[in-house]
Amino acid sequence: MEELDTSYARRAEEESAKCQLSLEDRLSAFQRDLEARYKRQLETELTLYRSRELAKARLEERQRYQEELAKEKEVVYHAHQVRMEEVRKSEQRIMEKYRRKEQVSLSTGVAGNMNL
């Protein structure tokens, strides 16, 4: 009977040791699983953060270039307006010269016809 009790106690200890080892294995596996999940979640969040920051930088860059383009358009438009005004004034001067020349020609022509 004593042998049986000793054998039973030994088996109980062995089973307990197996359970303890099994529990440690399960805890270790659970910890690895949590760490892997945390790593995936962190990578996902970092990827999302990077994509948001990249989109934000692109938007800021686009706005900056649009502002710069608007300023350049304004400069070009102003230069065009100035040039068009110069051309208009030049055309007016040329037309005025032409009219004066015609008036002189007509005056001289009429005066020349009267002398005949």
Alpha helix positions (H), the chain: 2-115
- Summarised one tens digit per residue, pLDDT across range 62-97 is 999 999 999 999 999 999 999 999 999 999 999 999
pLDDT at 29 over 60: yes
Per the structure, the count of domains in the chain is 1
Give domain status of residue 99, yes or no: yes
Reported as a pLDDT band with limits 50, 70 and 90, residue 26 is confident
Give domain status of residue 115, yes or no: no
Give domain status of residue 7, yes or no: yes
Greater confidence, 55 or 23?
55
Looking at residue 111, its pLDDT comes to 54
Q: How far is residue 110's CA from residue 100's CA, in Å, rounded to a whole number?
A: 15
Looking at residue 8, its pLDDT comes to 67
Give domain status of residue 42, yes or no: yes
